[in-house]
């Protein structure tokens, strides 16, 4: 567990924070899914075995990034956990794409 906490802290400190208008919490994602305005969900590998979820919404030009309620980018260290988060949000018939590092 300590290794995951260390990796999460390193990811938070090592990357530039995205603009606040690009962040979405899980309840906000669930609301967008209910209103059917989500075009695509992308699970992005940001480093080896570390993923984040980005959402393409119909009325926004840039991808929205799933975040915690504290406004920090939410990282997943297991692909299964990222999928479970999407299921909890109520994902249905939405294209989900996976972008992996080279």
- C-alpha 100/C-alpha 102 separation (Å) is 6
Domain extent for 77: 2-99
pTM: 0.80
Stretch 91-98: mean pLDDT = 88
Residue pair 53/65 in contact by the 8 Å Cβ criterion: yes
Q: Which band of pLDDT confidence, cut at 50, 70 and 90, is reported for residue 21?
A: confident
- pLDDT tens digits for range 28-60: 999 999 999 999 999 999 888 889 999 999 998
Residue pair 38/57 in contact by the 8 Å Cβ criterion: yes
- The structural domain count of the chain equals 1
């Amino acid at each position: 567990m300590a290794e995951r906490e260390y990796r999460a802290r390193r990811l938070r400190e090592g990357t530039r924070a995205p603009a606040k208008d690009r962040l979405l919490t899980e309840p906000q994602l669930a609301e967008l899914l209910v209103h059917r305005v989500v075009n695509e969900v992308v699970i992005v590998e940001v480093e080896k075995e570390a993923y984040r979820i980005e959402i393409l919404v119909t009325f926004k030009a840039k991808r929205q990034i799933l975040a915690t309620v504290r406004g920090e980018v939410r990282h997943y260290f297991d692909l299964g956990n990222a999928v479970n988060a999407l299921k909890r949000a109520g994902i249905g018939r939405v294209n989900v794409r996976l972008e992996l590092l080279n």
